[in-house]
Amino acid sequence: MPIYAYKCSACGHAADEMQKVSDAPLTVCPSCGQAAYAKQLSAAGFALKGTGWYATDFKGGGKPAETKAEPPSPACGTGACPACN
Ligand SMILES: [Zn+2]
Residue 75 lies inside a defined structural domain of this protein? no
Residue 83 lies inside a defined structural domain of this protein? no
If DSSP codes are grouped into helix, strand and coil, which group holds residue 62? helix
Residue 73 lies inside a defined structural domain of this protein? no
Residue 14 lies inside a defined structural domain of this protein? yes
If DSSP codes are grouped into helix, strand and coil, which group holds residue 7? strand
Given a contact cutoff of 8 angstroms between Cβ atoms, the answer to whether 34 and 24 are in contact is: no
Predicted confidence at residue 41, as pLDDT, reads 75
Predicted confidence at residue 16, as pLDDT, reads 93
Residue 58 lies inside a defined structural domain of this protein? yes
CA of 77 to the centre of ligand 1 (A): 76
CA of 66 to the centre of ligand 1 (A): 55
Predicted confidence at residue 65, as pLDDT, reads 53
CA of 40 to the centre of ligand 1 (A): 14
> Which domain range does residue 61 map to?
3-68
CA of 15 to the centre of ligand 1 (A): 11
Residue 35 lies inside a defined structural domain of this protein? yes
Domains: count for the chain: 1
pLDDT in tens, 15-57: 999 989 899 999 999 999 999 999 987 555 444 455 555 545 5
Neighbours of 44 (CB within 10 A): 8
Residue 50 lies inside a defined structural domain of this protein? yes
